[in-house]
Structure formats: C-alpha cells, structure tokens
Amino acid sequence: MAGSEGPNASSPTQQPPKKYDTTIFLSGPTQSDLQRNAELEKFLIDSGLYESTDEAEKRVEVLGRIDRIVKDWVKQLTSQRGYTDQMVEDANAVIFTFGSYCLGVHGPGADIDTLCVGPSYVNREEDFFIILHDMLAEMEEVTELQPVPDAHVPVMKFKLQGISIDLLYASISLLVVPEDLDISHESVLFDVDEQTVRSLNGCRVADQILKLVPNVEHFRTTLRCLKFWAKRRGVYSNVTGFLGGVNWAILVARICQLYPNAIPSMLVSRFFRVYTQWRWPNPVTLCSIEENELGFPTWDPRKNPRDRFHHMPIITPAYPCMNSSYNVSISTLRVMTEQFHHGNRICEEIELNKTQWSALFEPYLFFEAYKNYLQVDIVAADSDDLLAWKGWVESRFRQLTLKIERDTNGMLQCHPYPKEYVDTSKPCPHCAFFMGLQRKEGVRGQEGQQFDIRGTVDEFRQEINMYMFWKPGMDIYVCHVRRKQLPPFVFPDGYKRPRPLRHASQQDERNDEDAVGSGSGSAERHIKRKIDPKTEDVGPIKRVKQTAISPPRTESVSPSKNAGRSSGTPDISFSNGSRLECRATGDADKNSDVRLPVRQLESEKDSMGDVRVVEDVMHESITRNECTSMLVSEFRNEVKPSQEGCAVKPSEQLEKPLSWNELVVPCAVSFSESKETLA
C-alpha cells in the first residue's frame, strides 16, 4: 500500500519545496508564551484529541485490508475483460491517504480519507460505483455503505471494521499502476478528466502543505487545535458552506509561514488576529499560482469570470491550483467572520491572563442565536436508505442557502448548522437539520415586509428529488419554526429554554423581528407585535390556547399563484374544503402584547391516500375577529407506506403544530415591530 502519511512520505530526491514570497515575523516565544503553550497542549490531551496506540494500529490494519480489496477488484475486472494472464497478474491498484490522517492531525473516531488509483480501463461510473460497491456490500465487515457519485468529488463512504472510510477513485493513463507511484509528480495528470484531477488533488495538496510549512510539528498541533475550535463553534463543514479539513490546513499553514519561529500557542492567537483583518476576497495562498502545459484551468479571476464570485478564496498549493473553499456563501462567510472576531477576543484575554484556554472552546449556542429557523427533516423507509438519502440531501444543503440569498437579493441571511439531530421518540428512520434566519444586518425592515421563500424551497425540493438512487419512503419536509417552537430533542437532555418574561419598564423598546422564516440573529432581543391602530378599542383579550376563526369558504385557491419567489404578497383565496384556525394569545391588558400566530395545518386523508395540507404562514395586522394579509398554499404529498406510523392526527396538530413529521408548506418571511425583550 502506498500512502501520503507524513513529511517523509515523499522521497528526498523529489522536487525541492516550492518557495514563497511573504513577510516574515521572526520573533520567537517568550517565557509567558512557553507557559501558555504547555497549558494549551495539556488542554488538547485532556480533551481526548489524540488516539490511542491500539486505535492507530487498527487504522493501519484497515488500510491494509482496503488495499487488498481494491487489488482483487482490479484483477477481477482485468480477467473479465479478456486481458492476458500476464496482464491479470500485473494488474494493480494503489491506496493513498490524504486529509487529517495524512497530515497527522486525526483524532479518535475520525474517518480516513483514502484514494484508490487504478488503471485506465477501470472507470469510476460503472466499475467503482457499481461493481466495487456491490463487492463491499456483500462483506460483513463493511457497514453503512453510502455512494455519493454526484458530489463535486465523487466518493464512497463506509465503515470497515468500525473505522469510517471516505474512498475516492482516480483512473490514470497507465495500463499498469506501479506500486511505487509518485502521485506528486504532474505526469499523473496526463490525459485525465477534471473529476479525476480533483480526486488526485487531495493527496497532492497534502504533500505540498507538509513541504511548505517551516515546522511540521508546530503546524500539526496548531491545526489540531483550530479544527477542534471550528467544530465547537459550528463552522467545520465544507459540504454545508463552511470550511473543511483542507481549508483549515491551508489557513493554518499560511500563519506558520508568516510566523516561522512561533510555537502553537502563539500561532493560534496570530491565526485569529490575522484573519479578523483579512480583506476577503483577497486569496490565501501558500505559493505562487503556476501554469502548466497540461492546460488545466487554475484559479485566476482575471481570466475566469466564475472565479470573481468566490467569497473566501483559499487556494491549493499543488497544480492545478484551485479554490478549495468554493462552497462558502455570503451568509456562511459572515458567520465565520463573526467567529474569528470571537476567537480573537478570547485569545487577547488569554494573553492578558484574564481567562483560560477552555474559554476559547466553549460551544456555540446556535439555538439561542436566532429567533427563527428552517427545519429540514429527512425520512426514509429504513436505516440503510436513510444513510444514503441523508448523504445526498446534505451534499445539496448549501444550495438552499444560495437560493435564499439569490431570491431575496441577499436581504435574508442564512446560517446552516452542520449538525444533524434525531428524535429518538419517533419510530421512523429520520434526522433533522436546522438553519438560522435573519434579516441582513444594518437594514431596517418595514412593518409587514415579507420574504416569500416557498417557491425557493419548492425548487430545492425538486432538485433533491432528482436523486438517482431514490427509493420509496425517501422524502424531505421543510418548515419554519420559531425559537420557542424548537423541538426538545435539539437541546441537551431534552431541555428547552423557557420563554423569557417581559418587564413593564421595557414596553416602549422597539426591536425588529424577522418572523416566519427570519430571525434577528441575536439571542439578546425578543419581539412584540405592533398592534394595528384600528384595534385600540378592542377589549382585553384573555389568553386562549385554541380559538378557531373560520374564514369565508366561497372562493378557490390557485396553488400556482403561490409558487413564485416574489417578496410581495400573492393573490390568495380560500377553497371550500379548507379551514384555517387562528390561535390568540395575549395578556389581560389592552396595552399588552397581542399575538395571533396563524399557523394551523389541516390534513384530510382521502380514499386515495393523499393528504391535503393548508398552511397560513403569516398575518400582518389584527382586527376584532379577523386575520389579514395571510400567505396560503396548498400541497399534495403522497404518504409512503413506511411513513404511515408517522402521520399527524388533526388533534395532535393543535397541541404540537410544528412537530417533525408534519407536511409543512414553507415559508413566508415577514418583519414586524416589537416591544418584547428578554427579562
């Protein structure tokens, strides 16, 4: 088995390390720096970031097993295609590692990024994703097998003897792959497609990073620390639109270049200091971007118009140099910038001995940060189907962020959270992802302003449903939830923060709320709906849990009128068979907060097994006995046999109108004035 597993993975006779032009800060550590560094390293060890010797040995064993599997696979294909006995004997495939395992910063339970390099006659589409996939599926030692062929870098995910593996495939222009193949040499890129180049680049980039840092051990400790921080703060996920392992490695390597004599405690502090001041989209590079006669496109916004729209360019050091952070959106860049500033503030306090390293790694309280969220529920018939279906949905999840940014002209900002949640009380195989929503900072919304993103979400769902491996039972549901309506399973131990109380002295304060699909982005502000002037003479409204108000039923609903993505309110009417219910809540005081959150669903299952779902998404003003300016849409969803146990009864909807298994039509966004604040 070949491998790129450390600084000595490449022969000393290979090309010398590339030189880079940079400003060098040569100052070394002080005694205080050495003390803080010892405390940091102890913290990392105590946090369990280093694997045991037994686990390290098991990883080596698993990699050897994968190497034997792919060699047998290639020999089998060679024989089936009628090659000579000598060709069958010489047929070979080689396994390389990259990512955290190659860089030496992996921890307990981490997956191993692997690359299989095979001969020219073994292809990815059929031989890798079908034949090898079927071979792996028959092995008892292989579990959780999940192909993702449509990813930017096609990958097959699985566990082998309990070790998570991400396996890529690259077919190079050789009939026989030598066991000592030098993957860092540019000859491996001859006559291959762009998907193969992307697959090969993981190993090539890892080799170059280790060559370009001044001190490999300091780089490893710093990177291990920053990856741990990113995961705790919810910004470690390339697929969601944040940064993945190679992105963080390049960012850390650049800091190591700028401070070649610094130790890890200094490098962590300088990391935040530099990147809080970095003027994106200026790129982060470790070496010059070079052209080559092979002619593959490299990152160059002067020549490639598409590159001009990258928000956070982090350029790979191996040819062809690419932007490794193309997934970053305006919204996710905003979130990461805020987290860099937070880290910088903590590091400044650590340097002043005002706090300890543990403060830097406090988890981010995502469900305290916004007033409004999108909840994306993923369901399937069984656990194996859910694993494959979830992988596909997660690989496309960032598209929802981009579409919302596009359709609201960037006025509605999204914060996708890269963690899945499971409600163990539900019988159906499922998981849920969440996205925080807020109006763009610094832009004050008008009373009743709306962002209707139902059409945006519908477009996203249509793309998701194009999954080539779709099976009955696979489905997704997207709904809006306010902070106070978040399901208990997203909180530790099922704890849900109670609703804050209001003080009379705070009645005159006014804050904005991004309601029904938007959020303020701050956990420090709550909202109170502005009362329509026409309702000033309305008597006290006692708190009523369920008060039904039936609208006129003499008109019809046209679903096509509600499918657009305009920010205005579409034409709306009610069908004879539909019913909306308003639930009024308020204090027994004329001047108190009056809320009529009109969000009642009604499901009527007909003889064909269809479910009609009618949802009122938002009201804008309140009169004596009516709710106005409501956005309504009507859907038909097929209830799969596997999901019959998850159907929501009408009585359950009244008590838990936003439970995970409802069929919800998303989602209008409205802003209104408020006087409610945190107690």
Give the pLDDT band (50/70/90) at residue 150: confident
Give the per-residue pLDDT at 603.
33
Whole-structure pTM value: 0.71
Give the per-residue pLDDT at 131.
97
Per the annotation, the verdict on 150 as an active-site residue is no
Q: Compute the distance between CA of residue 475 and CA of residue 386 in angstroms, rounded to an integer.
A: 10
Q: Compute the distance between CA of residue 530 and CA of residue 522 in angstroms, rounded to an integer.
A: 20
Give the pLDDT band (50/70/90) at residue 601: very low
Per the annotation, the verdict on 33 as an active-site residue is no
Per the annotation, the verdict on 236 as an active-site residue is yes
Give the per-residue pLDDT at 139.
96
Give the per-residue pLDDT at 522.
38
Give the pLDDT band (50/70/90) at residue 446: low
Residue among 4, 67, 71, 100 flagged as catalytic: 100
Nearest-CA neighbor of 6 among 53, 49, 60, 68? 60
Give the per-residue pLDDT at 494.
54
| 44 contact partners, CB below 8 Å, separation of at least 6 | 50, 221, 224, 225, 228
Q: Respond yes or no on whether the N-terminal peptide bond of residue 320 is cis (omega within 30° of 0).
A: yes
Q: The sheet that has 632-638: what strands, in order across it? A: 602-605, 610-616, 632-638
Give the per-residue pLDDT at 294.
82
Q: What is the mean pLDDT of residues 29-37?
A: 95
Give the pLDDT band (50/70/90) at residue 675: very low
Give the pLDDT band (50/70/90) at residue 493: low
Q: Higher model confidence: residue 495 or residue 262?
A: 262
Q: Compute the distance between CA of residue 204 and CA of residue 226 in angstroms, rounded to an integer.
A: 22
Give the pLDDT band (50/70/90) at residue 129: very high
Residue among 67, 166, 207, 452 flagged as catalytic: 166
List b or e across 452-474, with b for residues whose CB sees 16 or more CB atoms inside 10 angstroms.
bbbbbbbbbbeebeebebeeebb
Q: Compute the distance between CA of residue 631 and CA of residue 669 in angstroms, rounded to an integer.
A: 10
Q: How many CB atoms lie within 10 A of CB 157?
A: 17
List b or e across 90-125, with b for residues whose CB sees 16 or more CB atoms inside 10 angstroms.
bbbbbbbbbbbbbbbbbbeebbbbbbbbbbeebebe
Q: Higher model confidence: residue 98 or residue 619?
A: 98
Residue among 71, 75, 211, 227 flagged as catalytic: 227
Q: Considering the chain, what is the average pLDDT of its residues?
A: 75
Q: What is the DSSP string of 613-627?
A: EEEE-----B-SS-B
Nearest-CA neighbor of 633 among 614, 620, 610, 605? 614
Per the annotation, the verdict on 307 as an active-site residue is no
SS3 107: coil
Chain Cα centroid distance, residue 670 = 25
| 551 and 573 Cβ atoms separated by less than 8 Å | no
Residue among 184, 207, 211, 236 flagged as catalytic: 236
Residue 610 has pLDDT above 80, yes or no: no
Residue 342 has pLDDT above 50, yes or no: yes
Q: Compute the distance between CA of residue 242 and CA of residue 225 in angstroms, rounded to an integer.
A: 17
Q: What is the mean pLDDT of residues 342-347?
A: 98
Per-residue pLDDT tens over the stretch 530-551? 334 433 333 333 333 333 333 3
| 644 contact partners, CB below 8 Å, separation of at least 6 | none
Residue among 58, 83, 111, 496 flagged as catalytic: 111
Residue among 113, 377, 452, 593 flagged as catalytic: 113
The gap between the terminal CA atoms of the chain, to the nearest Å, is 62
Residue 565 has pLDDT above 90, yes or no: no
Residue 579 has pLDDT above 70, yes or no: no
Residue 502 has pLDDT above 90, yes or no: no
Per-residue pLDDT tens over the stretch 154-199? 999 999 999 999 999 999 999 999 999 999 888 899 999 889 999 9
Q: What is the DSSP string of 292-327?
A: -TT------TTT-GGGGG-SS-BB-SSSSP-BTTTT
Give the pLDDT band (50/70/90) at residue 423: confident
Residue 17 has pLDDT above 60, yes or no: no
Residue 313 has pLDDT above 50, yes or no: yes
Per-residue pLDDT tens over the stretch 471-484? 999 999 999 999 98
Percent of the chain with pLDDT strictly greater than 70: 68
Per the annotation, the verdict on 227 as an active-site residue is yes
